[in-house]
Structure 1
Amino acid sequence: MAGPDRYRRQTVLPEIGAKGQRALGSSRVAIVGLGALGSVSSDLLVRAGVGRVRLVDRDVVELVNLQRQTLYSEADVETPKAEAAARRLQSVNAAVRVEAVPRDVHSGTVREILADIDAIIDGTDNLETRFLLNEAAMDRGIPLVYGGAIATYGMVFTIRSPETACFRCFNPNAPPPGSLPTCETAGIFNAVSAEVGAIQAGEAIRVLVGQAPSGDLLVIDGWRPEIQRIHLARRRDCAACGRGEREYLGARRSQVLASICGSDTISLDPIRSGAIDLDGLGRRLEALGSARRAGGVLLVDVGVDGSRCSRTDARSFEGSRTRRRRVQCTPNMWGSEMPHKGVLLLSGGFDSPVAGDLMARQGLGLVAAHFSLEPITDEAAAVKARTLCGILGIPSLYVVRVGTAFAEVAHAANRRFYFVLTKRLMVRLADALADRERADVLVTGENLGQVSSQTLASLRAIDAVARRPVLRPLIGFDKQEVVDRAREIGTYEVSKGPEICDLLGPSRPSTHARMDQILGEEAKLDLERLVAMCLDRVEAEKFMGHGPARSSSSELQGAS
């Protein structure tokens, strides 16, 4: 029923008007992910009269979802979310064409799923899919409205490249699987997820009626409540919008099993496509347990602990949440080979030389980067780094003088976050040097919990800015183990003695910095200028030394 009065309290708004309402009526939007955010955003967009809404989700409704996922009722439990949402929304506004797509979104399906779409709403629960949607939106030239919520906080950012930064500009690299908090581990305040979903819907309506995106990241504190705006500039070195790489969109689909965020769900997504007889499949799987159809999903209870998997359509298996032992199935990061070359972030202490030695003995070629606090200090630490390179057999060292930049960070930003902010700056610098060296990875001597910048929260914040994987071979080492190892490899005498890396830091640094806090502090800094200043006239110094033994001469050649 789409009578002339249905939208009159919307068209009276000068920001929308009759022209804007016509634009909405002719628009096509895909909501990818129908959890807490997608429930609210899809409901509002259908009520606003968006002409065609495509609902995409691979999961089924669970009882635990009902605390925050407003589209569903108890009667929908164990029903595919896409199908339950479509039924509900079609009853809300029959004039809108609502499509249910109970499928997984990956490199093999994303182009088909987003065909003829004008805007994407992100309601997903994992970074890999967001990276994929970011690339797909750029290739199609359409906006992507990112949203995320965890605990009592949320974020919204409307992306339309090249007018704005893209998602990868402020999330250059995916953190290791399992390292981020989830609704299961950190909880979720239903009011903040509703607020994020509502803002996403508003942002989508704004761009669909012709408004330009602001380029601001909105950081929402749902408990107090308050909203902070942080303007995000495009990164010229961004892999996605700067260099045009399509790492996720162009990925060859090889992984067939994955865990769904924050639950015991497993998703099986075979490479081959084709018609599937769900009833016949159910009969074959009854040998493992009970099988039953729920709409377009096949639910199978298997195993002594009640785990189950479900089949959604001809192309994707998915799982529903169960109590089961943890299973993690991820592709080998390197395939069958170690990375070829790495940049070692080399201090004058015990840890980083030992970390470099361990990786070199695994066949990784190394160059080193030392971050000297000159001109605030003298070059004593840089001299130690040069000596260590000789002992370890590292052929090249970059001495990057960061004293002036670090002093600016200490002065301009909240000093509680000094160590995380300066570590993130060092990672940016090391990434730039890795670009010069064509290195695959960064290597650090960080050890979990040893100092304030090595808590899980701090390491997540540091990893988030890296454009390549960060390897930490000492992550679980005891300090005495590291010291003993330093004696064995001959670096102990050079490394012992006081370090001055905390010269500008606070006496009580933050140990649990949130990403919105870090991004807010970095907004006070001209990071591009600081990076350029630190790298100005920095050249590699060449060394010769006995170093650790390696397996073959080809590995030595690979490090050059």
Structure 2
Amino acid sequence: METQISDKKEDRYTRLKAIRQFGYDISWESLRQKSVTIAGVGGLGIISSEMLARCGIGTIYIFDYDIVEAVNLNRVGFMEADIGVPKVKVVEQRLIEINPDVNIIAVHGDIMMWGIDDQFDEAVSKSDLVLMGLDNYPARSFCNQKCINHKKLLIDAGVSRSALSGNVHPIFPGKSACMMCTARLKGTNEKKERGEACTASLPTTMAIIASLQVQEALKYMLNLGTLVDYQTYNALTGEFRNFITSRDPKCPACSDLE
């Protein structure tokens, strides 16, 4: 017996919109009007950008100065044929293939570089939020400050150098602790890593942390649920922990904000 084809046309977002059936009054269509900047499209950014594209975000700005190397092939999204190609170009092409309706603006270069910094500043100013997946401290501090200057939500995320843990930290400038505020977490003596180039890399941990990062972004854009403050993941124990952070009144980055 031949399969009956339904007359009802279903679009690519049908299953996403179905969340309304469970009592959540959200407008998935509103994501078409949203813009997100992704700083760094390595292990985290390549995954988070794909998730956002599949969800139908209107515009995605991506910034990265690296090219694909053989050591990157253990990460989800990169192929052997991509070696030697700028990461942003690889990601841009993938996102266009995944969802041509999404506007992708890819910039190859260091966000702190003359000329590129202006493009990054403009992207942050136009975006509803910024996702950070950078692995060096100067660039992370620079991104943190840009978001503070424009009062844009920054969802910081990172995976430890051992690849066995990670964290997600939504930052509301002037309301919650910024990256520079959180030298220590309340209730623990554990110090945050300063954001160094990775030593080890596990696609599993990368995917988990990127998923948590995008989950918080969607919650914010769809006004759904409550965002975490500072969440950590331990791959060895499978444990997730939530911490409460406090702003530093003497923070050099955000103390001037009301």
- Superposition TM-score tier, normalisation by shorter sequence: 0.7 to 0.9
CA RMSD of aligned residues (A): 2.3
Confirm or deny: 8 A CA contact 1:159 1:215 kept in the other structure.
no
Counterpart of 1:99 in structure 2 is 105
Alignment of 1:14-33 (within 5 A): 14=20, 19-33=26-40
Q: Are residues 1:144 and 2:154 paired?
A: yes
Per-residue deviation, residues 331-385 of structure 1 (Å, max 9, x unmatched): xxxxxxxxxxxxxxxxxxxxxxxxxxxxxxxxxxxxxxxxxxxxxxxxxxxxxxx
Counterpart of 1:48 in structure 2 is 55
Seen in structure 2, the aligned counterparts of structure 1 residues 235 and 214 have a Cα distance that, compared at 3 Å, is farther
Counterpart of 2:64 in structure 1 is 57
Q: Are residues 1:156 and 2:171 paired?
A: no
Confirm or deny: 8 A CA contact 1:52 1:98 kept in the other structure.
yes
Counterpart of 1:71 in structure 2 is 77
SS at match of 2:209: helix
Seen in structure 2, the aligned counterparts of structure 1 residues 235 and 16 have a Cα distance that, compared at 3 Å, is farther
Counterpart of 1:207 in structure 2 is 220
Deviation at 1:23, TM superposition (A): 2.1
Counterpart of 1:457 in structure 2 is none
Seen in structure 2, the aligned counterparts of structure 1 residues 126 and 153 have a Cα distance that, compared at 3 Å, is same
Q: Which stretches in structure 1 are left out of the alignment for 5+ residues?
A: 173-178, 245-560
Q: Which stretches in structure 2 are left out of the alignment for 5+ residues?
A: 1-8, 185-193
Deviation at 1:57, TM superposition (A): 0.7
Counterpart of 2:5 in structure 1 is none
Identity %: 27
Confirm or deny: 8 A CA contact 2:220 2:227 kept in the other structure.
no
Match of 1:227 among 236, 240, 243: 240
Match of 1:116 among 123, 126, 149: 126
Q: Distance in 1 between matches of 2:181 and 2:196?
A: 21
Deviation at 1:239, TM superposition (A): 1.8
Deviation at 1:206, TM superposition (A): 1.0
Deviation at 1:24, TM superposition (A): 1.2
Match of 1:191 among 204, 208, 221: 204
Deviation at 1:132, TM superposition (A): 1.3
Seen in structure 2, the aligned counterparts of structure 1 residues 16 and 210 have a Cα distance that, compared at 3 Å, is farther
Deviation at 1:87, TM superposition (A): 0.4
Deviation at 1:52, TM superposition (A): 0.8
SS at match of 1:5: coil
Alignment of 1:456-467 (within 5 A): none
Q: Distance in 2 between matches of 1:134 and 1:4?
A: 40
Deviation at 1:76, TM superposition (A): 0.7
**Structure having the higher Rg:** 1
Deviation at 1:214, TM superposition (A): 3.5
Match of 1:133 among 139, 143, 148: 143
Q: Are residues 1:13 and 2:19 paired?
A: yes
Seen in structure 2, the aligned counterparts of structure 1 residues 16 and 61 have a Cα distance that, compared at 3 Å, is farther
Aligned residues: 233
Alignment of 1:485-524 (within 5 A): none
Q: Distance in 2 between matches of 1:233 and 1:35?
A: 29
Q: Distance in 2 between matches of 1:90 and 1:132?
A: 29
Q: Distance in 2 between matches of 1:213 and 1:160?
A: 13
Counterpart of 1:217 in structure 2 is 230
Confirm or deny: 8 A CA contact 2:228 2:242 kept in the other structure.
no
Seen in structure 2, the aligned counterparts of structure 1 residues 20 and 5 have a Cα distance that, compared at 3 Å, is same
TM-score (norm 1): 0.39
Deviation at 1:225, TM superposition (A): 1.3
Deviation at 1:211, TM superposition (A): 4.6
Confirm or deny: 8 A CA contact 1:61 1:80 kept in the other structure.
yes
Confirm or deny: 8 A CA contact 2:137 2:195 kept in the other structure.
no
SS at match of 2:47: helix
Match of 1:166 among 178, 185, 193: 178
Paired amino acid for 1:131: S
